[in-house]
Amino acid sequence: MEKLQNLRGMVDLLPEHTPLWQFIEETARTHFRRSGVNEIRTPLLEPTELFARGIGESTDVVNKEMYSFFDRGDRSCTLRPEGTASIVRAALQHNLLAQGPQRFWYSGPMFRYERPQAGRQRQFHQIGLELHGYSDPRSDVEAISIAWDLLMDLGVKRLALELNTLGSISDRILYRQKLETWLSDHFNELDEDSRARVSSNPLRILDSKIPSTKELLKKAPLLSNELSAESSERFAAVREGLANLGIPFKINPYLVRGLDYYSHTAFEIISDQLGAQSTVCGGGRYDGLVEQLGGHNTPAIGWALGVERLVLLIMQGNIPIKIPSPDFYIINKGKVAEAIALTLARQLRNSGMIVELDCSKSAFSKQFKRADRSNALQAIILGEEEVARNQIRIKNLRTNISNRSLNIEDFLDNSKFSILYC
What residue numbers does the annotated binding site for L-histidine cover? 82-84, 112, 126, 130, 257, 261-262
Measure the CA–CA gap between 10 and 79, rounded to whole angstroms: 13
Distances (CA, A) of 133 to 97, 103, 124, 298: 7, 9, 29, 6
Handedness of CA 315, 316, 319, 320 (dihedral sign): positive
The three-point CA angle 382-353-400 to 5° equals 60
CB atoms within 10 A of CB 253: 15
Strand partners, 123: 111
- Which residues make Cβ contacts (< 8 Å) with residue 144, sequence separation at least 6? 161, 242, 247, 267, 283, 303
Phi, psi of 119 (to 5 degrees): 80, 0
Measure the CA–CA gap between 17 and 10, rounded to whole angstroms: 15
Q: Report the binding-site residues.
A: 82-84, 112, 126, 130, 257, 261-262
The three-point CA angle 144-150-152 to 5° equals 100
DSSP state of 44: S
Measure the CA–CA gap between 126 and 342, rounded to whole angstroms: 39
Check: CB of residue 205 under 8 Å from CB of residue 198.
Answer: yes
Measure the CA–CA gap between 356 and 359, rounded to whole angstroms: 9
